[in-house]
Amino acid sequence: MALNLIMLGPPGAGKGTQAERFAKKRGIPKISTGDMLRESVKAGTEIGLRAKAIMERGELVNDEVMIGIVKERLARADAQDGFILDGFPRTVAQAKALDTLMDGRPAIVVIDITVPEAELVRRLSSRMVCEECGLNAEGVELAQMSTTACKRCGGRLKQRSDDTADVVRERLKVYKRDTQPLVDFYRDRSTFRQVFGAQPPDRVEKELDHAVKHATKTEGGRR
> From the centroid of its chain, how far is CA 17?
9
Q: How far is CA 166 from CA 32, 171, 200, 216, 223, in A?
A: 23, 9, 27, 39, 38
> Before 106, cis peptide (omega within 30)?
no
Question: Which one of residues 12, 14, 16, 82 is an interface residue with Mg ion (CB under 5 A)?
Answer: 16
> In this structure, are strands 129-130 and 157-158 parallel, antiparallel, or unpaired?
antiparallel
78 binds ligand AP5, rule: CB under 6 A: no
| Residue 127 vs 193, nearer CB to ligand AP5 | 127
| Residue 34 vs 82, nearer CB to ligand AP5 | 34
Question: Could you say which residues in the range 87-106 bind ligand AP5, by CB under 6 A?
Answer: 87-88, 90, 94
| Residue 14 vs 29, nearer CB to ligand AP5 | 14
> In this structure, are strands 192-196 and 82-86 parallel, antiparallel, or unpaired?
unpaired
* Torsional sign, CA 18, 72, 97, 81: negative
Question: Which one of residues 4, 15, 22, 40 is an interface residue with ligand AP5 (CB under 6 A)?
Answer: 15
* Interface with ligand AP5 (CB under 6 A): 9, 11-17, 33-34, 37, 54-55, 58-61, 66, 87-88, 90, 94, 123, 127, 136, 138, 162, 171, 197, 199-201, 204
